């Protein structure tokens, strides 16, 4: 949808007409004007998908506002340009709309236009308009006013509309961006390229809003040992070296990066702590991303080149490496056709990272590198995954209960003099191994059996009471024992009734 945002200026008599006007008479009274304003919904969700303003059941991000004025207890006369309404605060959280279908309130594609202020006519003493949520959390205050033509005094009313809310305020993502052109010159380059570049890191919460400012440092930046990273240096205020801890302002952390004498890749690791949005007290729940920055000796005329490498990764172990290109004009943009092993991703800066959880073997992908002026090279690559996938844990629950061996898991009741059957099952562990069952301390009326990976008990109880025994499931090296109890009861509904003494 094309987006428009017009500013309407409220001064004296407005210049826009609204839905309704004319009609109605307030009668004759000398009492003062009064005005009221209400919103159907005073809390709206964040409109992160930029959905258009609409009314009705599908207008989840839109609310209708009703304004009304009276002279004493009598509605004011109708007319045009009677009410002036504007957003007094929270403009970034939403805008006002007419939604009256008039062409002057729509763009060429019939999309409704957004306003920070509007004028409305009065019909039967009132009018309606709309507020539509934006993509920033906040509280918008909408104020409407009416002028008493007898003395020129204004009367006003306001309503607050909360947009968003409920976010954790803790980091959910971190993303780094280097200052244009996004490439560093080596310290001795002959093309007069800067060897220091500004970097900003965007930290967003669960609702994709900037994390709140922290009283302590909440972003850690470190140089990973890769490429020419050993010659690089991070700088922020009085900090300088391979690791920085800085605070963010409005969800953005800023620092600079200096290169050394060699060309290649500098790989930065950006980390926030979701646990408490503080990194200076240790990182307990890391949120991490990587940023690769090219260091070049000059703007050369050599053709863009990329030598495909064979990369080996091990299941369950964190991994990060950066692909390298030469020639062309940096910075380079990377993409892949075909799925990387599960758990791994390729960033646009050429970083392959993640923790693989994939079936061992070779994965073939097609990687393309594009330079700053559109040069493109494509190569086939192979990523080889080694190490077995971790097995699912061996789990054995009895009737939904997984208590330890010292606490009984209760089975459904057995009925005296009636056949009883219950089956036990377990899951996880080594799928190549079968599950064996062992029953200990079974009462005399119960017998056990095994079919496949399922264990059974069956029998007919002749006396009432509680019976407790042990059940053990074994799969390979995994062994789980549960204490189990079953109570034998009577059945008053049986014919004849079954009773317990």
Residue 27's pLDDT is 47
Q: Which of 163, 183, 213 is the last residue of a domain?
A: 163
Task: Indicate whether 297 pLDDT > 90.
Answer: no
Residue length, the chain? 501
Q: Which domain holds residue 332?
A: 310-386
Task: Indicate whether 137 pLDDT > 50.
Answer: yes
- Burial 161-170, CB ≥16 within 10 A → b, else e: bbbbeebeeb
The answer to whether residues 448 and 325 belong to one domain is: no
Task: Indicate whether 489 pLDDT > 50.
Answer: yes
| pLDDT tens readout for residues 375-392 | 889 999 999 999 988 888
The structure tokens 């080889």 sit at 384
Residue 484 placed within a domain: yes
The answer to whether residues 178 and 159 belong to one domain is: no
Residue 482's pLDDT is 93
By C-alpha distance, which of 391, 389, 337 is closest to 361? 389
**CB-CB contact of 257 with 266 (8 Å):** yes
Query: In a 10 Å sphere around its CB, with 0-12 CB exposed, 13-18 middle and 19+ buried, how is residue 307 labelled?
Result: exposed
Question: Residues of the chain with pLDDT > 70: what percent?
Answer: 93
More confident: 66 or 326: 66
The answer to whether residues 189 and 85 belong to one domain is: no
By C-alpha distance, which of 487, 457, 489, 452 is closest to 471? 457
The answer to whether residues 370 and 401 belong to one domain is: no
Residue 374 placed within a domain: yes
Residue 218 placed within a domain: yes
Task: Indicate whether 263 pLDDT > 60.
Answer: yes
For residue 86, name the pLDDT band (cuts at 50, 70, 90).
Answer: very high
Task: Indicate whether 167 pLDDT > 70.
Answer: no
Residue 20's pLDDT is 38
Task: Indicate whether 61 pLDDT > 70.
Answer: yes
* Whole-angstrom distance, CA of residue 241 vs CA of residue 230: 10
Residue 54 placed within a domain: yes
Residue 391's pLDDT is 82
By C-alpha distance, which of 26, 123, 121, 23 is closest to 73? 26
Q: How far is CA 454 from CA 65, 200, 296, 451, 473, in A?
A: 64, 58, 65, 5, 10
3-state helix, strand, coil in the chain (%, to 5): 0, 50, 50
Q: How far is CA 58 from CA 63, 79, 105, 208, in A?
A: 11, 32, 21, 23
Within 13 Å, how many C-alpha atoms sit on residue 477's CB side? 1
* Whole-angstrom distance, CA of residue 437 vs CA of residue 448: 9
Q: Which of 163, 184, 214 is the last residue of a domain?
A: 163
Residue 302 placed within a domain: no
Tokens at 292, concatenated: 């690769």
| pLDDT tens readout for residues 268-290 | 999 999 999 999 999 999 999 99
Query: In a 10 Å sphere around its CB, with 0-12 CB exposed, 13-18 middle and 19+ buried, how is residue 353 labelled?
Result: buried
Q: How far is CA 197 from CA 230, 327, 345, in A?
A: 17, 21, 26
Residue 206's pLDDT is 87
Enumerate residues 6+ apart whose C-beta is below 8 A from 159.
Answer: 37, 38, 39, 42, 65, 141, 142
The answer to whether residues 13 and 158 belong to one domain is: yes
Average pLDDT along the chain = 88
Task: Indicate whether 15 pLDDT > 60.
Answer: no
Residue 166's pLDDT is 65
3-state secondary structure of 295: strand
| pLDDT tens readout for residues 423-433 | 999 999 888 89
More confident: 177 or 9: 177
Of 223-227, 234-238, 244-248, 401-405, least confident by mean pLDDT is: 401-405
Give the 3-state secondary structure of 164-183: CCCCCCCCCEEEEEECCCCE
Q: Number of structural domains, the chain?
A: 4
For residue 192, name the pLDDT band (cuts at 50, 70, 90).
Answer: confident
- Burial 364-385, CB ≥16 within 10 A → b, else e: ebebebbbbeebebebebebeb
CATH number at residue 49: 2.60.40.10
Q: Which of 137, 163, 189 is the last residue of a domain?
A: 163
For residue 349, name the pLDDT band (cuts at 50, 70, 90).
Answer: very high
Residue 392's pLDDT is 83
Task: Indicate whether 444 pLDDT > 60.
Answer: yes
Residue 288's pLDDT is 96
Tokens at 182, concatenated: 């996004």
The answer to whether residues 97 and 220 belong to one domain is: no
Residue 126 placed within a domain: yes
For residue 1, name the pLDDT band (cuts at 50, 70, 90).
Answer: very low
The answer to whether residues 288 and 325 belong to one domain is: no
pLDDT, mean of residues 297-317? 84
Residue 28's pLDDT is 54
The answer to whether residues 345 and 421 belong to one domain is: no
Enumerate residues 6+ apart whose C-beta is below 8 A from 89.
Answer: 139, 140, 141
The answer to whether residues 100 and 196 belong to one domain is: no
The answer to whether residues 192 and 149 belong to one domain is: no
């Amino acid at each position: 949808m094309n987006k428009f945002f017009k500013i309407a200026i409220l001064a004296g008599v407005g210049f826009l007409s609204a839905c309704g006007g004319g009609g109605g008479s307030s009668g004759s009274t000398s009492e003062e004007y009064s005005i009221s304003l209400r919103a159907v919904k005073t809390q709206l969700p964040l409109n992160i998908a930029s959905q258009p303003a609409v009314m009705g059941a599908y207008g989840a991000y839109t609310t209708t506002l009703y304004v009304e004025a009276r002279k004493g207890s009598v509605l004011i006369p109708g007319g045009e340009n009677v009410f002036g309404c504007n957003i007094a605060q929270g403009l970034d959280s939403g805008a006002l709309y007419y939604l009256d279908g008039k062409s002057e309130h729509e763009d060429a594609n019939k999309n409704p236009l957004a306003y920070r202020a509007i004028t409305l006519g009065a019909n039967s003493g009132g009018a309606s308009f709309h507020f539509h949520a934006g993509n920033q959390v906040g509280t918008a205050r909408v104020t409407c006013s009416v002028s008493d033509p007898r003395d020129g005094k204004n009367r006003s009313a306001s309503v607050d509309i909360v947009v968003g809310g409920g976010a954790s305020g803790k980091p959910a993502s971190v993303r780094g961006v280097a200052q244009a052109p996004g490439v560093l010159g080596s310290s001795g380059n002959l093309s007069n390229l800067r060897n220091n570049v500004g970097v900003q890191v965007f930290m967003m919460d669960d609702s994709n809003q900037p994390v709140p400012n922290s009283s302590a440092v909440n972003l850690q930046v470190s140089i990973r040992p890769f490429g020419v990273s050993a010659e690089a240096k991070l700088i922020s205020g009085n900090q300088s070296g391979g690791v920085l801890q800085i605070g963010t302002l409005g969800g953005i952390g800023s620092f600079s990066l200096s290169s050394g004498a060699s060309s290649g890749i500098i790989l930065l690791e950006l980390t926030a702590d979701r646990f408490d949005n503080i990194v200076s007290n240790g990182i307990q729940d890391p949120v991490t991303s990587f940023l690769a920055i090219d260091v070049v000796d000059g703007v050369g005329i050599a053709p863009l080149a990329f030598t495909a490498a064979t990369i080996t990764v091990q299941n369950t172990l964190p991994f990060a490496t950066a692909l390298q290109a030469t020639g062309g004009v940096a910075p380079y943009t990377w993409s892949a056709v075909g799925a990387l092993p599960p758990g791994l991703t390729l960033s646009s800066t050429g970083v392959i990272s993640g923790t693989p959880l994939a079936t061992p073997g070779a994965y073939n992908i097609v990687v393309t590198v594009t330079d700053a002026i559109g040069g493109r090279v494509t190569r086939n690559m192979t990523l080889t995954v080694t190490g077995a996938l971790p097995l699912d844990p061996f789990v054995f629950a009895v009737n939904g209960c997984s208590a330890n061996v010292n606490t009984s898991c209760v089975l459904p009741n057995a009925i005296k003099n009636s056949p009883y059957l219950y089956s036990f099952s377990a899951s996880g562990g080594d799928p190549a191994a079968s599950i064996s069952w062992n029953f200990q301390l079974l009462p005399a009326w119960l017998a056990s059996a095994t079919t496949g990976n399922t264990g059974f008990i069956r029998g007919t109880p002749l006396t009432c009471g509680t019976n407790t025994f042990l059940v053990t499931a074994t799969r390979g090296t995994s062994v789980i024992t549960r204490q189990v109890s079953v109570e034998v009861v009577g059945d008053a509904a049986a014919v004849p009734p079954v009773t317990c003494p």
